[in-house]
Amino acid sequence: MTQEEKKSLITRWTLAIVFMGLFWGLIWVITGGRYHSNVSGIHWFLDMHDQSFVKSQREDTTTLADVKVSLLKGADQNEVFGGPGSSMRVPPEGTVPRGYDPYPYSQAEIDQAGAALKNPLPLTAAVLERGQKEYEVYCSVCHGHLGEGDGPVVPRMTAPPSLITGAAKDWQDGKIFHMITMGRGNMLPYAAQIRPADRWAIVHYVRVLQKKGASN
């Protein structure tokens, strides 16, 4: 290769490198250099890069301004499924999921619920086992393992009434179910945490605790 050919080759490679540098530099400026992010420069081909839906676990700020959620209503009666900021959509007005019955009583209608609601579950070993399991998970922390109102959190809060003595022995099944569903006093609603069938199983188990307490 002659000296002139070497110079020509070097010139061509130099121009090619400069051109590629300018080309990719221009691409960097146009796009903002963030190919991995939705926050980038100009998008020439949007396709599915930017979508209008709210991604999973992301906050939807459009639900924060006009949504008021009251814990006293319980999860059965919240206007917005998931609460303010949730990306889950509001169901059409007047609709309920298949197989779901909205709870018909407000928190204050405890006497009506107590009189109208009856425990639909038979008293079986399986139901009692389920009731005991749910009671231990959700109730014993305040009411104690035997229903005496001496749960482990009591030293830090007002002690709840005993479930095995006093007025609690005269509560109807429906009244206990209502208090689990809608809350009472310092107790918040547990409708979101405990399924209706499991609430009724807890009612059966509370009756067992009352009988044990009466025999001691």
Structural domain total, the chain:
3
Domain enclosing residue 192, as ranges: 110-215
Per residue in 164-190, pLDDT tens? 988 899 999 999 999 999 999 889 999
Q: Which residue has the higher pLDDT, 97 or 121?
A: 121
Report the pLDDT value the prediction gives residue 78, as an integer from 0 to 100: 45
The chain-wide mean pLDDT, for the chain, equals: 80
Instruction: Residue 100: name the closest of 120, 121, 75 by CA.
Output: 75
Q: What are phi and psi of 184, to 5 degrees?
A: -160, 130
Q: Are 187 and 138 in the same domain?
A: yes
Q: Are 184 and 143 in the same domain?
A: yes
Q: Are 123 and 45 in the same domain?
A: no
Q: Are 129 and 186 in the same domain?
A: yes
Q: Are 170 and 185 in the same domain?
A: yes
Report the pLDDT value the prediction gives residue 120, as an integer from 0 to 100: 96
In the predicted model, is pLDDT for residue 25 greater than 90? no
List Cα–Cα distances, 85 to 60, 72, 82, 190, 207, in angstroms. 5, 19, 8, 21, 40
Report the pLDDT value the prediction gives residue 74, as an integer from 0 to 100: 44
* Residue 127, domain CATH: 1.10.760.10
Report the pLDDT value the prediction gives residue 67, as an integer from 0 to 100: 47
In the predicted model, is pLDDT for residue 154 greater than 50? yes
Q: Are 42 and 93 in the same domain?
A: no
In the predicted model, is pLDDT for residue 128 greater than 70? yes
Label residue 203 by pLDDT band (50, 70, 90).
very high
Q: Are 131 and 180 in the same domain?
A: yes
